[in-house]
Amino acid sequence: MKSFRARVFIKFTLPVISIIVAGNVLLTWQISKYQKKLEEKEFLGIANTISTLIEIDHFDQLSSNTASSEERNFAGLERKLRKIMDDIQSLRSVFILVKKDERSFYVIAGASSKYESEQALLAGKSYPIENFPGSLMGFAVPFVLRDSSRFLTGYVPLRDAGGMPVAMLRLRFDPFNNLKFNRMVYFEILGITIFLILLSTLFGFFISHQIAVPVNNLVEGIDSIRSGNLDFRLKVEGDDEFGKLARTFNKMADSLNASRKILRGYLYRTVRSMVSILEARDPYTRGHSERVASFSEKIARKMGLSEKKIALLKETALLHDIGKLGIEENILNKIEPPTDQEWDIIKKHPSIGAEVLRPIFFEKDAIDIVIQHHERFDGKGYPYGLSGNEINILAQILSVADAFDAMTSARAYKEPMSKSEAARELKEKSGTQFNPDIVNAFLQILEDEMHHVLG
């Protein structure tokens, strides 16, 4: 006759151990899938951002016999692609291709790292389409392939002003840093799995009647993290074995959350460098994002928003104009007022920016800030024509800060306003373009700063 401990071990502990092992195997598998999706989103974000830096107006005039004037242009592209390679260490190669005929591509320009094995791919040469799996799809829409090695290969169409694809960007990306971090997470999950098995065995022999609740909580936690909720934590009650189990699980969740933050930080730095490139294109806008972020932080703090929202607003404000990378430079920097067609193009930059930042920010507020920062309080803004409280309060704050910096900064087509002139302009548009509460808070900030300077 089996003892009670043996029966508990067989009837309870072994199923619990099976749940833990299966849950962690499933968790590991889900993390791997999630990581691959993040890598592909990161890669597409980088690829789409790079594609906005490539001037492609002259590609549609390209023939198989390249003219010397085109060669000079392509030499410039070579330098630009090499600069991009230097800025983004994970890129292994980047090439620009045009369709020579139905069976081959012509390589316009390119750059590759010393680690890239595709040394046979040379600018000025033609290659069969069969050499580029997936390229026909990539000529129409962004497309990513993962080869048998760890590398990602992506194709992004380069479109003319009419939206027609005239060339294609081919990139290879090495997510090596992500793989190293994944191994660390997997080993930690393995250690936690072993630890949980030992705890479950002890609990099964000594306090079997108390195991059901914490085990169910643990399974719920595994399911939550598997579904992407990395903020889920088990409630810690006391310092007994159940408390240790909960703390161990929470440490695992903290580790996974930290891995997501590291990935987000990498993407954020990459896009931030793109914003620096954007502002470097126009000396009049240099430092604009930093000033807008500073003004936004002051307003949010004056209005008593939480530190979490203030931090998110400041972080997003630094990237709020990233969508302008998708707008042609001759439109952004022209002195004359834009035509109706050009104005329609300019109005797309909030939507472009939101799409670029979706792989970075999981918070809805961050995407709202970027896509809504040109909405107006009276509903006459863009892109959606939202009004009043329909507009995210953080986006409304950014709108005031953005407008004030634009008015007080020099532009090619105007002299800057003084702070007092800009303040009067904000006050005049309070209740129409801007939220009156936000304008009042900002005017109080300006007044306090002026008193500080004078006294």
**Average pLDDT score, the chain:** 76
Q: The pTM is what? A: 0.45
DSSP type of residue 119: T
Q: Tell which wins on pLDDT, 358 or 268.
A: 358
| Confidence band for 386, pLDDT divided at 50, 70 and 90 | very high
The region, left, alpha or beta by phi > 0 then psi within -120 to 50, assigned to residue 388 is left
- Residue pair 419/448 in contact (Cβ under 8 Å)? The answer is no
Partnered with residue 98 across adjacent β-strands are 106
CA distance 403 to 313: 16
Interval 365-394 mean pLDDT: 92
- Name residue 113's amino acid: S
Consecutive H or E run containing 104: strand 104-112
Strand order in the sheet with 143-146: 126-128, 104-112, 91-101, 165-173, 152-159, 143-146
Q: 403-446: per-residue pLDDT in tens?
A: 999 888 866 556 788 888 999 999 999 999 999 999 999 999 98
The reported pLDDT for the residue numbered 397 is 95
Give per-residue pLDDT as tens, 118-148: 555 777 788 888 887 777 777 778 888 877 6
pLDDT of residue 172: 84
Burial of 102 (0-12, 13-18, 19+ CB in 10 A): exposed
Residue 81's pLDDT band (cuts 50, 70, 90): confident
Domains, the chain, ordered by start: 4-34+178-260 (no CATH), 53-174 (3.30.450.40), 282-454 (1.10.3210.10)
Residue 278 has pLDDT above 70, yes or no: no
The separation between the first and the last C-alpha atoms of the chain, rounded to the nearest angstrom, is 91
Please write the tens of the pLDDT for every residue from 5-55: 455 566 666 776 777 777 777 777 777 777 777 777 877 888 888 888 776
Q: Token pair of 102, please?
A: 């139905």
pLDDT at residue 326 in the model: 76
Q: Report the pLDDT averaged over residues 179-194.
A: 68
Contact by Cβ (8 Å): 94, 113? no
Q: Which two tokens stand for residue 99?
A: 């369709």
SS3 label, residue 218: helix
**What's the whole-number mean pLDDT along residues 212-241?**
65
Confidence of residue 3 (pLDDT cuts 50, 70, 90): very low
Q: Is the pLDDT of residue 268 over 50?
A: yes
**Mean pLDDT, rounded, for 185-209:** 67
Per-residue pLDDT tens digits for 305-355: 999 999 989 888 888 888 877 777 777 677 777 788 888 888 888 888 888
Q: Given pLDDT bands bounded at 50, 70 and 90, which one contains residue 87?
A: confident
If phi > 0 it is left, if psi is from -120 to 50 it is alpha, else beta; for residue 265 that is alpha
Q: Which pLDDT band holds residue 455 (cuts at 50, 70, 90)? A: very low
CB atoms < 10 A from the CB of 406, how many?
Answer: 17
Per-residue pLDDT at 235 exceeds 50: yes
* Pairing label, strands 165-173, 152-159: antiparallel
**Given a cut of 70, is residue 4 above it in pLDDT?**
no
Please list, in sequence order, all residues whose beta carbon lies within 8 angstroms of the beta carbon of residue 39, skipping any fewer than 6 positions away: 152, 173, 175, 178
Tokens of 349: 């930059």
Which DSSP string corresponds to 316-377?
A: HHTTTTGGGGGS-HHHHT-SSPPPHHHHHHHTTHHHHHHHHHTTT---HHHHHHHHHTT--T
- For 107-121, how does the pLDDT look when each residue is reduced to its tens digit (9 = 90+)? 888 888 876 655 557
| 25-55 burial code (b ≥16 CB/10 A, e <16) | eebbebbeebbeebbbbbbbbbbbbbbbbbe
d(CA 21, CA 219) in angstroms, rounded, equals: 11
pLDDT of residue 297: 93
Q: How far apart are CA 335 and CA 392, in angstroms?
A: 32
| Predicted confidence (pLDDT) at residue 356 exceeds the cutoff of 60 | yes
Residue 407 parent element (H or E): helix 393-408
Q: Is the bond leading into 283 cis (omega within 30 degrees of zero)?
A: no
